[in-house]
Amino acid sequence: MKIGFLIFPNMTVLDFVGPCQVLSQVPGAQIYVFWRDLCAVSTDAGFAVMPTHTFAEAPQMDVLCIAGGPGQREVMDDAQVLDFVRWQGASAKYVTSVCTGSLLLAKAGLLTGYKAGCHWVWRDQLESFGAIPVDARVVEDRNRLTGGGVTAGIDFGLILAAKLASDEVAQVIQLALEYDPAPPFDVGSPHKAGVEQRALVEQLFTQHYPIL
């Protein structure tokens, strides 16, 4: 079972690592990490990750997963990246994304007419690419499975692990990763946070990551 992730410069590393950690534990999973070359790829967390394969070397994936992050804006206009996503997405069994990765899927035409999730700050942008934004942590529509912002990738990964293997396997992975979250504050969604906190996050992101 071939599970492929697209990475790109200045990505949000946890968007990718959350689901990758979960899905790499599914029996029979082979992880592929794609970029146009095999050089180290920067992330937004101060260190770089290594691709395992170039676009040109890629066999057809069973699962395609697109992460998001500040670097999203540049790859949204990168024809080579869009072609790769379109080509893999056309035949993958599951076409998936986490966070603003859904904007890239949508730009590649893979979410046209599909319900999809996204990081809450950018969710409405999905409409301009023909997708139907849904305010949920994980959104399923036919073979599209899309997650909300960053940490939603862990919940997304476990839901996908259950589909790829079984509930029992996903549960053992959840216990192995000791995923019994205890957030220190109750402000992790825009519905729970205050107006000022939301404004601050939107302001920070608009300054640093003007995504469109």
HSE, side-chain direction, 13 A CA sphere, residue 138: 15
**In this chain, which of 183, 195, 207, 210 binds a copy of itself, going by CB under 8 A?**
183
> Strand, helix or coil at 2?
strand
Closest CB 192 distance from a copy of itself, rounded Å: 7
Is 113 or 194 the residue whose CB approaches a copy of itself more closely? 194
DSSP single-letter state for residue 181? -
Closest CB 109 distance from a copy of itself, rounded Å: 26
Q: Which residues are catalytic?
A: 99
**94: Cβ–Cβ under 8 A, 6 or more apart, which residues?**
62, 63, 64, 143, 144, 145, 160, 163, 164
DSSP single-letter state for residue 43? B
What DSSP string describes 48-114? Answer: EE--SEEGGGPPPPSEEEE--STTHHHHTT-HHHHHHHHHHHHH-SEEEE-TTHHHHHHHTTTTTT-
- Kind and range of the H or E run holding 200: helix 195-208
- Work out whether 119 is an interface residue with a copy of itself (CB under 8 A): yes
What track of x and - describes contact with a copy of itself for positions 56 through 95 (by CB under 8 A)? ----------------------------------------
- Work out whether 204 is an interface residue with a copy of itself (CB under 8 A): yes
- Work out whether 210 is an interface residue with a copy of itself (CB under 8 A): no
- Work out whether 172 is an interface residue with a copy of itself (CB under 8 A): yes
- Work out whether 10 is an interface residue with a copy of itself (CB under 8 A): no
- Work out whether 179 is an interface residue with a copy of itself (CB under 8 A): yes
Count, residues near a copy of itself per rule CB under 8 A: 66
Token pair belonging to 147: 């997650």
Q: Which residues are near a copy of itself by CB under 8 A? A: 12-14, 17-18, 20-21, 24, 29-33, 40, 44-52, 99, 119-120, 137-138, 148-152, 154-155, 158-159, 162, 167, 170-172, 174-185, 187-190, 192-193, 197-198, 200-201, 204-205
